[in-house]
Structure 1
Amino acid sequence: MGRSGTPRPDSSELLAGQPEGVGEGAWIDVIQKMDEVYSDLLQYEVALEEKNAKLEESQGFILSVLTSISDILVVCDRSGRIEEVNRSLEDFCGRPLAELRGTPFVALLADPQAAVLVQEMFGLRAGAAVHDLELALRAADGSAVPVSLNCTPRYSSVGKSQGVVITGRPVGELRKAYSALRQAHEDLKRTQQQLLHSEKMASLGRLVAGVAHELNNPISFVLGNTHALRRYAGRLAEYLNAVHGGVQGEALDDLRHQLRIDRILADLDSLIEGTVEGAERTRDIVDGLKRFSALDREENAPFDLAGVIQRSVTWVCKAAPERFAVELQLPPGLVVLGSPGQMQQVVMNLVQNACDASAGQAAPALHIRGEVQGGDVVLRFHDNGPGIESQHLAHIFDPFFTTKPVGRGTGLGLSISYGIVERHGGQLLAGNHVAGGAEFVLRLPLAPSTGKPLAA
């Protein structure tokens, strides 16, 4: 008996019943051919059983996938009638597949007038693909639920159109997800702005003492000149009263000599000029503070980078220990394009970091050297501290990364500086100098010559 239950013929019986006139050799050939055919039949039967097993496995896999899909799925024929749905659609409309199979897809719509739109937009007859079409479907509780639908044509193995596959998701879920994503994005942007401003305010707070010293000189100068002018005003008033009172001759000359009117007149110009100079110096310092503490603005003006560096070094050194020394080697013509306030924040951060890093040395120092290379300004900030450990070099510009003790640093200074330099079209690199200590290299493109006045 074979695998299919068909009895295999006995060759001896066939030879015994051979007809007259037929040779035994011819009959043996017939028997051999029959054996070959029977062997092929068995092989085909085995292969068919294996393919049936694989087909059942594939069908089971496809069924498990369709059952697990959370989005609704509908398979329609060329006329728009439902052939297959997944469990999500059954749960959505409250109807089993046996009831849905063979019904038109438009029967699922909550608005019958949308049937024409489905025929045109979904291409149930034309076979065109449609994406993100919002239609209301009738839910299990009878309510109309808006659903975002996508339609894709399906073809046979020979390319013949067989209908479409429609997938969709209730718009309410999408809107909730988009709303949550948008809110998270807004919260992230707001938090980022707060962190940026907090870091700037932290830097500004560290410099208050230095700026106070910087303001003390011009304010003291103005105050001293004002007191002198007040004394001179009293003497001039006394002399003018004598003149208007009729005092003349030698008595008036004696009073003029006693009140030193000639000396007052000679001294007035220098007092007024000094007072104006002190007031202007105070105004410049306050303007610099306002530019530094203001929120970032999209400035794009040429400015002298050397002036920004000198001002930054002055402010940091005023608040730093007296033994911290900064050596500057800056050539003329370091004009770049951008925001002087933002670039001052970068330079102050680099100088402050160098001051902190070299604090443990006997003579803490920072050497700032500038040069022009091609169309770029290159600044090197080399301190005599212990340098940057190799495992930290790859993370030195990462947000919130800091090697300072808790409460001494936010870990945002270098990260913010890196972003500012990138927005200015430059580069900020960190490494260790061959002579010891850390070295930061700031590269910025030179501003094109426009003839416009430089920003302060």
Structure 2
Amino acid sequence: MADGERRLPDSSALLAAAPEGVGEGAWIDVIQKMDEVYSDLLQYEVALEEKNAKLEESQGFILSVLTSISDILVVCDRRGRIEEVNRSLEAFTGRASEVLRGSPFFDLLADPAAIELARGWFALRGDAPIHDCELSLRAADGSAVPVSLNCTPRYSSVGKSLGMVITGRPVGELRKAYSALRQAHDDLKRTQQQLLHSEKMASLGRLVAGVAHELNNPISFILGNTHALKRYAGRLAEYLAAVHACEQPEVLSELRQRLRIDRILGDLDPLIEGTIEGAERTRDIVDGLKRFSALDREESSRFDLVAVIGRSVTWVCKAAPERFTVDVRLPAELPVSGSSGQMQQVVMNLVQNASDATAGQGAARLQIDGTVEDGAVVVRFHDNGPGIDARHLPHIFDPFFTTKPVGSGTGLGLSISYGIVERHGGALTAGNHPDGGAEFVLRLPRAGDGQGRS
């Protein structure tokens, strides 16, 4: 038998020690009761040892938690006397826990105003906790350090007030953390703007060929008219020189007919008007490019979405490497409010995605339908491509998500478009059309007549 193990008394010895006049049966009952009591005592002892072990484990756990807390922690009684502290407070004050226990909490404070305020906490003994109260505590080096304190009342198992638990952190650390958070937020906003502009430049680069073709027509027209005007100017100069030389009427008449002065005078107005029209067309294209490529200025004005869609479709179709047909069915006007340049980026992205999705098909087609529904402008972009895989639909607007091969897309176009539409108070949704192909629905608030025009 192991040392310390308890052993029940021998039954035969107990029977032999039976008192005189007590029957054997009665004495056996007494012995059985003793066995039961002894067994219960053993069970109680085992249970007590288990509870003591759990209590020691709980105390060790609480001690490890108190030791690991980086914030200062003080447990006070109802009068403000310190009952327990953690190592952070010891390190902060430079005083051991044995010295701090039993001393007033107010001795930790650095100025009379803080002491007066803290005394009020314990005098009121209210149930409401105190959050983020900044007081100055005396540090180990004697300096006054502002600390953000949180105080929570503590109670006994029967609800009796026992005092307060006070935790705190030096405000300097909080300010450093806030400064780092603000810097990270600024960096994130700056990166977001850079990504937005980079995506716009990438879209602009893909459309350079189409825009160059669009510019070529009016510029060629202006150049041809300018050459014609230059020839006409030479003939008019020759005729005017003869007039100023006071030539005979017969000579002037013959010269007028040979130089075709009457025809020149008849052509001047159409040539000038055509040149002005070509210059204005060039100016409009360049102005559209400037608005599209410019950084966001948070400008908001009333503009016609029909014109934006028409310009976007023209540019994308000119740059499309394969045959790509766009069927546009829009009303005369779709007035919306916001940034026409940003909305042009959205439309161009949707049209470009449709062009990419239908590439390689015999008859690549995109149908754009626009209506006004319940005070909102609704434009649907339905292509005849393969549609969107069901597993990709929940992620279609996620940043950097793309199904295109590596190097063919950044995965930012739809994400940025979604954000632009959302900032304009609208919504951009994606799905598969019942007749096949993908369908994107752009919904924007319709601009009222009282809003300014762009």
TM-score tier, shorter chain, comes to 0.7 to 0.9
The amino acid across from 1:394 in the alignment is: P
Letter in 2 for 1:197: H
Letter in structure 2 aligned against 1:440: E
Q: For the residues of structure 2 that align with 1:281 and 1:127, how far apart are their CA atoms?
A: 79
Higher mean Cα deviation, 158-167 or 94-103? 158-167
Cα shift readout 1:3-45 (whole Å, capped 9, x = no counterpart): 9xxxxxx9x999989xxxxxxxxxxxxx9xxx9xx99x97997
Match of 1:259 in 2: 259
Give me the whole-angstrom Cα distance separating, in 1, the residues matched to 2:382 and 2:288: 26
- Residue matched to 1:125: 123
Q: Is the 8 A contact 2:383 2:439 kept in 1?
A: no
Q: Which residue of 2 aligns with 1:94?
A: 94
What does the per-residue CA deviation read over 1:257-313, in whole Å, with 9 as the maximum and x for residues that have no partner? Answer: 222221111111111111111111111111111111112233433322222111101
1:348, CA displacement in angstroms? 0.6
Q: CA deviation at 1:117?
A: 3.9
Match of 2:233 in 1: 233
In the alignment, structure 2 segments of 5+ residues that lack a partner are 1-5, 7-13, 23-29
Contact kept in structure 2, 1:148 and 1:168, CA below 8 Å: yes
1:454–1:113 Cα change, 3 Å: closer
| Distance verdict in 2 for CA 1:126–1:453, change over 3 Å | closer
Paired residue type of 1:66: L
- Residue identity over aligned pairs, in percent, reads 73
Deviation of 1:206 (Å)? 0.8
Instruction: Indicate the SS of the match to 2:392.
Output: helix
For 1:75, the equivalent position in structure 2 comes to 75
In structure 2, how many angstroms separate the alpha carbons of the residues matched to 1:125 and 1:55? 34
1:338 maps to 338
1:109 is displaced (CA, Å) by 2.9
On the 8 A contact 1:313/1:351 being kept in 2, the answer is: yes
Alpha-carbon distance between aligned partners in 1 of 2:445 and 2:171, rounded to the nearest angstrom:
53
Change (3 A) 1:240 1:207: same
Q: Distance in 2 between matches of 1:319 and 1:45?
A: 89
User: Displacement, 1:403?
Assistant: 1.3
CA contact (8 A) 1:327 1:368 kept: yes
Distance 1:454 1:174, change over 3 A: closer
Secondary structure at the residue paired with 1:262? Answer: helix
Residues 1:369 and 2:369 are matched in the alignment: yes
User: Where does residue 380 of structure 1 map in the other structure?
Assistant: 380
Cα distance in 1 for partners of 2:374, 2:113 equals: 70
- Give the corresponding residue for 2:169: 169
The question of whether the paired residues in 2 share the 8 Å contact of 1:74 and 1:86 is answered with: yes
Report the Cα distance in structure 2 between the residues aligned to 1:14 and 1:86, rounded to whole angstroms.
Answer: 63
Q: Is the Cα contact below 8 Å between 1:428 and 1:440 reproduced in 2?
A: no
1:179 maps to 179
Shift of 1:325: 1.8
Task: Indicate if the aligned counterparts of 2:322 and 2:359 stay in contact, CA closer than 8 A.
Answer: no
Range 347-356 or range 66-75, more displaced: 66-75
TM norm structure 1:
0.83
- In the other structure, the counterpart of 2:198 is 198
Q: Which residue of 2 aligns with 1:350?
A: 350
- Cα offsets for 1:120-148 (capped at 9, x unmatched): 4xx13223543323333333344443322
RMSD (Å), alpha carbons: 3.4
Distance, in Å, in 2 between the alignment partners of 1:168 and 1:453 is 54
For 1:443, the equivalent position in structure 2 comes to 442
1:321 alignment partner, SS class: coil
Work out the CA distance in 1 between the residues paired with 2:448 and 2:181.
45
For 2:84 and 2:385, how far apart are their aligned partners in 1?
73
Q: CA deviation at 1:245?
A: 1.8
Structure 2 partner of 1:26: none
- C-alpha displacement at 1:113, in angstroms? 6.1
Point out the more displaced range, 141-150 or 96-105: 141-150
Structure 1 residues 263, 423: closer, same or farther in 2, change over 3 A? same
Letter in 1 for 2:440: V
**C-alpha displacement of 1:440:** 2.4
Question: Taking structure 2 as the reference length, what is the TM-score of the superposition?
Answer: 0.84
Say which is worse superposed, 268-277 or 329-338, in terms of deviation. 329-338
How many equivalent residue pairs? 431
